[in-house]
Structures are given as C-alpha cells and as structure tokens.
Amino acid sequence: MSELIQKNESHDIRWKLLAGTSALALIGYVAAMPAAKAEDADRPTVWIELGGQLSRWENSQEPYAPPFAALTPSNLSSPQNAEKPPRYGMDGSAALKLQPTDSDWTFSVSVRYGRSGNSKHARQQSNPAAAAGYLIFRNHFGSDYVHGTEPYHVTPIAARFTDVVAKQSESHTLLDFEVGKDVGLGLFGHNASSTLNFGVRFAQFTSRSSVKLLENPDFHFKTELYTFSTAYTFNGRYYGFYEKRANQRQIFHSFAGTFRANRSFTGLGPSISWDSSEPVIGNSERVELTFDWGVNASILFGRQKTKIHHQTTGRFYSATATAFGSSNRAIRPITYQRHADPMRSRGVVVPNVGGFAGFAVKYPNAKVSFGYKADFFFGATDGGNDVRRTEDIGFHGPYASISIGLGG
C-alpha cells in the first residue's frame, strides 16, 4: 500500500514540474510576442534594388569561312580571327520585393538586361618582289651581226592580302516572377536566413553579325618563254634573226564574300531558387556584414530562330609583262558565284542553372551587395550557318547592387 502511495506522489510531482515548465515557456512566448511584432512592424515591407554586372559572354558561333579562305597564305593569319564574338558586356538589373508584415512570404519581380558588341577591321598584306625578265636577240644582215641581251623588271600589279570587316552584337533579357518563403535554414549559424523561391522565368537572347571579306590569296608570277627564229638568202646575202624572250605573266584570283546572321531564342518556364544570408559580424539592428549566396535553376520552353545570308564571288586576273611593257591585261568575268539564305525555326527545351556568392553590408533600411554571379543556358541558340548547330550561352562576372527599404 505504501509503495502505491509513493508511486502516485512521484507521478504527481512529474506532472507538476511539467505543468510549471510549460507555464513558464508560455509566459515567455507571450512576453516575447509584442517585441517580435514590434520588430516586424519596423521591418520595411517594400525593397527596391538596382544593380550592375560586368559580364563575360560565353557563346560560340560557327565562323564565316568561305572556300577561298583555305587559300590564305601561311604568312597571313586567318581572317576568321576577326570574327570572334564579343567577350565582355555590361548588365543592368532592377528588382522589386514585397514582404508583408507578420509574414514569412515574399513576392518579387526582377529584370536583367545586358548587351555587348564589337567591330573589327583587319587588313594584312604581303607585297611580292619585282620579277626579272629578259630578251636575247641575234641578227645577221649580210656581213653585219648584232646580238645582245636586254634584262627588265616587272612591277607587281597586285598583292596578296586579306581584308575583313566584322561586326557583332548580342543582347539578353531575363525576367523573373517569384514567390518565396523564409524557411530559416542556415548552414553556418542559427541566425542565418534562407528563402526558398518558386516562380517563372522568361529569357530572350538575340545576336547579330555581319562580315565583309576581300582576299587575293594567290598572286604569283609565271615565267613564259618565247622563242622565234628565221633565216633566208636574198640577192646572195644571208639574213637571219633569232629572239628569245622570258615574259612574266601576273596571275591571281580576287575573291569577295558577304555574310549576315540573325539568331534568337525566346523561352518561358518554371524556376526555383534558394537564397541564404549568413551573418559574419555586426548587429542586425544597426549595421551588419553578411555572406550571401544562392543557387537557381529553371527549365525554359521556347523557340530558336536563325536567319542567314551569305554570298561568295570569285574572279580571275591575268596580265603579261614583256620588255616592251604590259599587255594582255584581262579581267575575266565571274568564275563562280554562290549564295545561300537558310532560315530555321525550332522548338527547344533549355535547362538553366546559375548561382551567386558575395558579401553584403546591411542596414535596417538599406543594403549594399557585391560578389560574383553566373547563369548558364544549355543548348539555347542555333549557332550554325548552313546546318543547325546548338550552342550553350552563359554570362558570368562581378556584380554590385544597392537596395533601399520602404514602409514598415
């Protein structure tokens, strides 16, 4: 009987301790609620962000390489070196974020626009040396005999050269609509914050390029030997004539090519991102330094479009130079002409991944951020000329932004 009474007393004591602890926790929670609500009431409900980024543009396109480019002399660099797309450009971004009071949800819309371009004019020339020719003659006029050699030099009428003018430009636009929730998961500390976002991403990429290429790749001299002789007797006198000439024929081809390309991709699809902020030093109520990072991914359903025009023309030049001057200089008609206008349009699915990492200086109503950001889109554009060739697009580089909080 005494054992039963002791067990009941022990059971009552545990319940009293549990009830007392729960009551104290409830009182502490209720006491903390006004402070938390006051903190939420002071928090800005609208954030406006403006930023910029120096982006390195990753994009490969098939260069314009007409057949005659294979004839480029070895002492001249390939004209396709001037057709490389732009590598760097400037991006600008703007974002609007809403954080309702007493809520862990956020609603945001952001836009990012960037462009880059270049223009190159490259001319290379190799001047051939003058060529030597000669005239040898022997004349008999009865008892008279005359002979001699007359050398001469031929000045080149052309040169080996390449001349290319290439212009390229690109632009990209990203538009994001997101709804996020603060999930409170920090990787490096309990005071960190993380937001999981779901939304829709719109992306548009455009590029334009034009190339004008002139080339005389194969100028050369060709020595042509000409021999003539005759002899006869008239009125008992002997007449004889002999002549040998080394003429120089100047031969070369002249080529011209033009190229224009318009390429684009437009797509829309679901997106997901995770943004995290880890405190490093400072006080969130005054000023604080944080390490910010995030990753994002999306699937874009869209369409690639490509419109190409290219044309190639070739002509043959020939001129013969003798000791008596140039003759038979001919510009023959077009030896060949080729043009094509391929157009392609294709629906594609483009995966997109990206991320950023950097530091931010946070104030109660403002934030200054800087770091490195990247976005990559796989198989986004058609970079081929005569046939389709999918290419990846990416841009990455350092960024900086400033955010201002309003309301609260």
Residues 174 and 196 in one domain: yes
Mean pLDDT of the chain: 84
Give the amino acid at 161: F
Distances (CA, A) of 187 to 58, 161, 282, 367: 32, 62, 18, 21
pLDDT, position 296: 97
Residues 214 and 271 in one domain: yes
Task: Dump pLDDT digits (tens) for 351-382.
Answer: 999 999 999 999 989 999 999 999 999 999 99
Residues 12 and 63 in one domain: no
DSSP one-letter code for 3: H
Residues 37 and 53 in one domain: no
pLDDT, position 130: 87
Its domain, for residue 259, covers 45-406
Token readout for 255 is: 């080529």
Q: Taking the C-alpha atoms of 276, 278, 283 and 287 in order, what is their torsion angle to the nearest 10 degrees?
A: -60
Residues 54 and 32 in one domain: no
pLDDT, position 14: 40
Q: Say if residue 404's pLDDT is above 80.
A: yes
| CA–CA gap between residue 199 and residue 72 (Å, rounded) | 52
- Reduce the DSSP state of residue 332 to 3 states and report it: strand
Average pLDDT score over residue span 119-145: 86
pLDDT, position 3: 38
- Residue 297 φ then ψ, to 5°: -150, 150
* Total domains present in the chain: 2
Contact 127, 158 (CB under 8 A): no
| CA–CA gap between residue 195 and residue 104 (Å, rounded) | 9
pLDDT, position 59: 82
- Choose one of 27, 42, 57: the last residue of a domain: 42
% the chain with pLDDT above 70? 85
Q: Say if residue 330's pLDDT is above 60.
A: no
Q: Say if residue 335's pLDDT is above 90.
A: no
Residues 66 and 173 in one domain: yes
pLDDT, position 408: 64
Q: How many residues does the chain have?
A: 408
Residue appearing with tokens 């042509």: 224
Average pLDDT score over residue span 253-271: 95
Strands 88-98 and 288-322: unpaired
Token readout for 204 is: 């548009």
Say which range, 9-13, 47-51, 297-301, 359-363, has the weakest mean pLDDT.
9-13
Residues 33 and 134 in one domain: no
Residues 4 and 77 in one domain: no
Residues 36 and 52 in one domain: no
Residues 266 and 347 in one domain: yes
Say which range, 162-166, 260-264, 313-317, 395-399, has the weakest mean pLDDT.
313-317
Q: Say if residue 323's pLDDT is above 80.
A: no
Token readout for 296 is: 């994002």
For the whole model, what pTM was predicted? 0.76
| CA–CA gap between residue 97 and residue 404 (Å, rounded) | 10
Q: Say if residue 268's pLDDT is above 80.
A: yes
Contact 171, 144 (CB under 8 A): no
Residues 286 and 137 in one domain: yes
Residues 114 and 22 in one domain: no
Q: What is the DSSP string of 93-135?
A: EEEEEE--TT-SEEEEEEEEEEEEEEEEEEEEEEPPPPEEEEE
Q: What is the DSSP string of 6-41?
A: HHHHHHHHHHHHHHHHHHHHHHHHHHHHHHHHHHHH
Q: How many CA atoms lie within 13 A of 391 on its CB side?
A: 23
| CA–CA gap between residue 336 and residue 143 (Å, rounded) | 58
Say which range, 45-49, 234-238, 363-367, 389-393, has the weakest mean pLDDT.
234-238
Task: Identify the CA nearest to 362 among candidates 91, 106, 47.
Answer: 47
Contact 379, 303 (CB under 8 A): no
Task: Dump pLDDT digits (tens) for 173-185.
Answer: 999 999 999 887 6
268 or 137, greater pLDDT = 268
Task: Identify the CA nearest to 49 among candidates 395, 285, 407, 367.
Answer: 367
pLDDT, position 98: 94
Q: Say if residue 121's pLDDT is above 80.
A: yes
Residue 331: pLDDT band (50, 70, 90) is low
Task: Dump pLDDT digits (tens) for 301-318.
Answer: 999 999 999 999 998 888
